Amino acid sequence: MDFIFRQPQREIDRVFIHCSASSLSSHDDVEVVRSWHKQNGWDDIGYHFYITFDGRVHVGRDIEKTPAAQKGHNVGTIAICLSGFKDDDFTEEQFDSLIDLCQQIHRKIPDVTFHGHCEVSDKDCPVFNYREILGLNDFGQYWNWDKVVPDDVVLFPFTTNNDKRIQARQEFIDLFEEMLRLQDQVTYLLDQARDLGDMIDEL
């Protein structure tokens, strides 16, 4: 099942993209990176999400907690790290997952902007062209054609397979979230029924 992003309660205005600075297969593991960061004296891994070479999105730090990833620029951010060191280390699966995760974040938090660690440090991290991969402008925003193209102009009069895949994935996410909401409601009703049953037994 694809990873489902759940919006945190804390305010988010930026997302930062990182790389792990290691291409060793033994380091392609969120728990290895977690142990490194704990050895530095941190409570947990500094990133919220870690994407391994196989494209899996692993949960790192609790999304409700501020990351420890961009010194001086952590408040109000989400930190994503991809396993890899050099530009040709990264896999298509990783980039697909990064695109999917960032699009999910954007849909939940429309005003959020996306940035590389290099924008706030003297490092080259994340070394790959994240703006091109994500389709961002120089300000870290997704291009919003609705604001620059009249409604009666059809840019793409056909639907590509990728468009269908994105639409189907979004429908799946919406359905999954609705199922979670229904599950919470059912749990609440069951608790109410048990309380009423206990009350009846005591009468």
Q: What is the mean pLDDT of residues 93-106?
A: 96
Q: What is the mean pLDDT of residues 114-141?
A: 95
Of 36-40, 102-106, 153-157, 192-196, least confident by mean pLDDT is 153-157
**In which band, very low, low, confident or very high, does the pLDDT at 151 lie, cut at 50, 70 and 90?**
very low
Of 8-12, 55-59, 99-103, 139-143, least confident by mean pLDDT is 139-143
pLDDT at 102: 96
Residue 182, token pair as written in the block = 């229904």
pLDDT at 16: 98
pLDDT at 154: 42
Cβ contacts of 173-177, under 8 Å, gap ≥ 24 = 173/2, 173/4, 173/104, 176/4, 177/4
Please check the confidence at residue 95 and state whether its pLDDT lies above 60. Answer: yes
> Looking at the whole model, is its pTM more than 0.85?
no
% pLDDT > 90, the chain: 67
Q: What is the mean pLDDT of residues 86-113?
A: 95
Place of tokens 């699966």: 93
pLDDT at 131: 95
pLDDT at 176: 67
Active site residues: 18, 47, 117, 123, 125
**In which band, very low, low, confident or very high, does the pLDDT at 88 lie, cut at 50, 70 and 90?**
very high
Please check the confidence at residue 28 and state whether its pLDDT lies above 70. Answer: yes
User: CA 185, 186, 187 angle in degrees (round to 5)?
Assistant: 90
Q: Mean pLDDT: which of 111-125, 133-147, 189-203 is highest?
A: 111-125
Dihedral, CA of residue 45, residue 57, residue 14 and residue 145, to nearest 10 = 170
Please check the confidence at residue 158 and state whether its pLDDT lies above 60. Answer: no
**In which band, very low, low, confident or very high, does the pLDDT at 189 lie, cut at 50, 70 and 90?**
confident
